[in-house]
Amino acid sequence: MTFFIRRPGCRALLAGLAVAFAAWGAPAAAQNTRIRFQLDWRFEGPSALFLTAAKKGYFSEEKLDVTIDAGNGSGGAINRVASGAYEMGFADLAALMEFQGNNPNAPSIPTGVMMMYNNTPAAVFSLKKSGIKTPKDLEGKKLGAPSFDAGRRTFPLFAAATRIDEKTITWISMDPALRETMLARGDLDAITGFYFTSLLSLNARGVKDADIAIMSYPAYGVKLYGNAIIADRNFLKSHPEAVKGFLRAVAKATRDVIADPAAAIKTVKERDGIIDEALELKRLKVAIATSIDTPDARAEGFGDVNPARVALMASQVGTVFATKVPVDPDLAFDRSFLPPKSVLSTVLRGK
pLDDT at 73 over 90: no
For range 72-88, the mean pLDDT? 93
Domain shared by 179 and 257, yes or no: no
The Cα 64–Cα 32 span in angstroms is: 5
Average pLDDT, the chain: 90
pLDDT tens digit string along 290-301?
Answer: 999 999 999 999
Domain shared by 238 and 208, yes or no: no
pLDDT at 2 over 80: no
In the chain, what percentage of residues exceed pLDDT 70? 91
The pLDDT confidence band at residue 305, using thresholds 50, 70 and 90, is: very high
What pLDDT was estimated at residue 8?
Answer: 45
Residue after which a domain boundary falls, among 220, 235, 250? 220
Which stretches within the chain are classed as H helix?
A: 10-25, 48-55, 58-61, 74-83, 93-102, 150-153, 155-162, 179-184, 195-204, 233-238, 240-259, 261-271, 277-287, 295-300, 307-320, 329-332, 341-344
Residue after which a domain boundary falls, among 220, 235, 264? 220
pLDDT tens digit string along 117-164?
Answer: 999 999 999 999 999 999 999 999 999 999 888 899 899 999 999 999
The Cα 265–Cα 282 span in angstroms is: 10
For residue 266, give its domain range: 33-119+225-344
Number of domains present in the structure of the chain: 2
Q: Is residue 297 part of a domain?
A: yes
326 DSSP 8-state letter = -
Q: Is residue 160 part of a domain?
A: yes
173: domain CATH number? Answer: 3.40.190.10
pLDDT tens digit string along 11-33?
Answer: 444 444 444 444 444 444 568 99
What pLDDT was estimated at residue 30?
Answer: 65
Residue after which a domain boundary falls, among 188, 220, 252? 220
Domain shared by 42 and 109, yes or no: yes
pLDDT at 7 over 60: no
Domain shared by 114 and 126, yes or no: no
What pLDDT was estimated at residue 107?
Answer: 85
Domain shared by 83 and 139, yes or no: no
Domain shared by 229 and 339, yes or no: yes
The Cα 215–Cα 184 span in angstroms is: 17
Domain shared by 214 and 128, yes or no: yes
